[in-house]
Amino acid sequence: MKRRDLIKASALVGGTAALDINAQAQSKQEHWHQSYAGDRNQPALAPGLPNKDYQPVITPNNVTLPWKIVDGVKIYHMTVEELWHEFAPGLKAKCWGYNGHVHGPTIEAVEGDRLRVYVTNNIDAPTTVHWHGVFLPNGMDGVGGLNQRAIQSGETFKYEWTVRQSGTFMYHSHHDEMTQMAMGLMGMIVFHPRKPTPDYGVDRDFAIMLSEWRVDPGTFRPNPNEMTDFNLLTMNARCYPGTESLVAKLGDRVRIRLGNLSAMDHHPIHLHGHYFKVTATDGGRIAVSAQWPETTVLVPVGSTRDIEFIASEPGDWAMHCHMTHHVMNQMGHDFPNVVGMKRGVTDRQIRRLLPGYMAMGESGMGDMGIHVESGHMAVPKNSLPMVGAHGPFDYITMGGMFTILKVREQLKSYADPGWYEHPDGTVAKPASKGQVAKDLGVG
C-alpha cells in the first residue's frame, strides 16, 4: 500500500481532514504555473509565459517549484520524499528530496507576494522546513521544537507569509539537520524585486546549491555521520560530469546565485576567463559602489552569494570549487603516497597473490578515470571513479564541484551547444623544434 493510499484510508476510517493534496493537484494541473514550463532553452521573457514580469531563474539539473494563485495568494505544495537520485552516470543513491527532486525545486516569487506553502511529509521521519534568510513571522521559521512542532509522517503543514525582501535564499530541514540535510533536504529560494533597479536586470540568471555527501563506493545510502571526509561534492546535487553546462551568448549579462548548505565545508568558487562582482548575499543586495572585482568567491556554509558578469569571451570556461579535493569523485584518502615511486617489481609480486592487483598514484591520480572506463581497473558497482570525462581534446581530470560556462557568439537557443570550436591558432599545442630552437636557444 502506498503512503498516499494509507492517508486516504486513514481519512476514511478516522474521519480526519487528512487532505490528499497530491491527487487534487494532479487533477487541477492546468492551474499550476512554472518557470520554463515550456522550453527552458528559449529566452524567458517571451509573451505568454506566466512570469513575464521578471527573468525566471534557471536551476541547472533541477526545476522551479510550480505555483498557482488562489484568491490572490501564491500557493505551493512541497512533498518530502525518499528518492533514487543520480549524482552522475554510474552512481545512484537513495536520498531524501522534495517533489521528485534532490535537492528540492527552486522556490521563486516576487517581493510583495503572499505565499502559502503546503508541506506534506512522505518520509518515515518527522521534519520541518526552515526558510533561510527570509523575513517572516517567528512561528513560520521552521525550527523544530522552537517555532513549531515537527511535521510527522503523513501530515501536511501550512507555512504562510508575505515576501518583504528580494534576493537569494535557501530552504532546508531544521529537524535533525545533521541527518536530514546530509540526505538532501534543501533547496534554493529566489525573490525578485517588485521594482527592480536598472543594475538588477540580467539575460541569464542561474541558481546553484553547493553541498557535500559521503556515499561509500558500492553502497547506495548517504552517510550522515561523516564529519570530515566527504567524497561527493555537488552542484545542485550533481557531480561532474553530471553537471549541466551554463550557456550564455557573448555579451549577455549573467547572474549566478550560489548557496552553500554543505555540512562542514566552505567553497571558493572560481570562474575562468572572466571577472565578476559579488552583488548580493543572503543579507541583501550590495551597493554598486561597494562591489569589487573577483574571479573567486568564497561561499561559506549557510550563506548565499550572487555574482554578476558579462559573458565577454567565447569558449568553454570551467567554473569550480578551488579546493582540489572538491573536484574529485568518491576518492579515498587512506592510502600511502606513492607519487614518483617505481613499483613494477613489487606490483608483479603482489599480483601473484592478488590476481588483477593494480596500484595507482605513481604519476598521480589523473589516469584513474581512463583506467576505469577502459575496463582494466575494476571498481565496485554503483560508484564513480575519482575524476573525469572525455573532453574535446583529452580526458578531463576533474569531477565533483565542477561545471562549464559555455559562451558563444551565435546561439539559436540556450540548449547546450556542444564543445567550443576554437579559431585556428588559438589552442595550446606541441611546440615545433625549430621555434623552440629559435626562441629558447635550445634543442
Q: Is 326 in the site for Cu ion (CB under 5 A)?
A: yes
Q: How many residues bind Cu ion (CB under 5 A)?
A: 4
Nearest distance from C-beta of residue 400 to Cu ion, angstroms: 8
Q: CB of residue 321 vs Cu ion: minimum separation in angstroms?
A: 3
Asked whether position 298 contacts Cu ion by CB under 5 A, the answer is: no
Question: How far apart, in whole angstroms, are the C-alpha atoms of residue 265 and residue 211?
Answer: 9
* Pick 202 or 405: Cβ nearer Cu ion: 405
Closest CB to Cu ion among residues 55, 234? 234
Among the listed residues 323, 350, 370, 377, the single contact to Cu ion using CB under 5 A: 323
Min. distance of Cβ 244 from Cu ion in angstroms? Answer: 19
Q: Which of 88, 258, 311, 321 binds Cu ion (CB under 5 A)?
A: 321
Residue 328 or residue 372: which is nearer to Cu ion going by CB?
328
- Could you give the 3-state DSSP secondary structure of residue 28? coil
The nearest distance, CB 247 to Cu ion, in angstroms, is 23
Which residues from 87-126 bind Cu ion, rule CB under 5 A?
none
Spatial distance between the Cα atoms of 291 and 41, rounded to a whole number of angstroms: 30
Minimum distance from residue 132 beta carbon to Cu ion (Å):
19
Residue 415: all three cell numbers together = 540548449
Residue 77 binds Cu ion (CB under 5 A): no
How many other CB atoms sit within 10 Å of the CB of residue 353? 7
Contact between 302 and 130 under an 8 Å Cβ cutoff? The reply is no
Task: Tell me the Cα Rg of the chain.
Answer: 24
Of residues 68 and 326, the one with the C-beta less far from Cu ion: 326
| Shortest separation between residue 323's beta carbon and Cu ion, angstroms | 4
Say how far residue 211 (Cα) sits from the centre of its chain: 7
One DSSP character per residue, 220-247 reads -S--TT-SS---EEEETTB-BTSSPPEE
| CA distance linking residue 172 with residue 2, whole number of Å | 25
- C-beta of 162: minimal distance to Cu ion in Å? 36
User: Residues near 24 by Cβ (< 8 Å), separated by ≥ 6?
Assistant: none
Q: Which of 132, 255, 267, 285 binds Cu ion (CB under 5 A)?
A: 267
Residue 377 burial (CB count, 10 A)? 16
189: cell is 529560494
In the region spanning residues 157 to 186, those forming contacts with Cu ion, defined by CB under 5 A, are: none
Which range in 5-13, 141-149, 317-325, 369-377 contacts Cu ion by CB under 5 A? Answer: 317-325
**CA 22 – CA 18 distance, rounded (Å):** 12
Residues that bind Cu ion (CB under 5 A): 267, 321, 323, 326
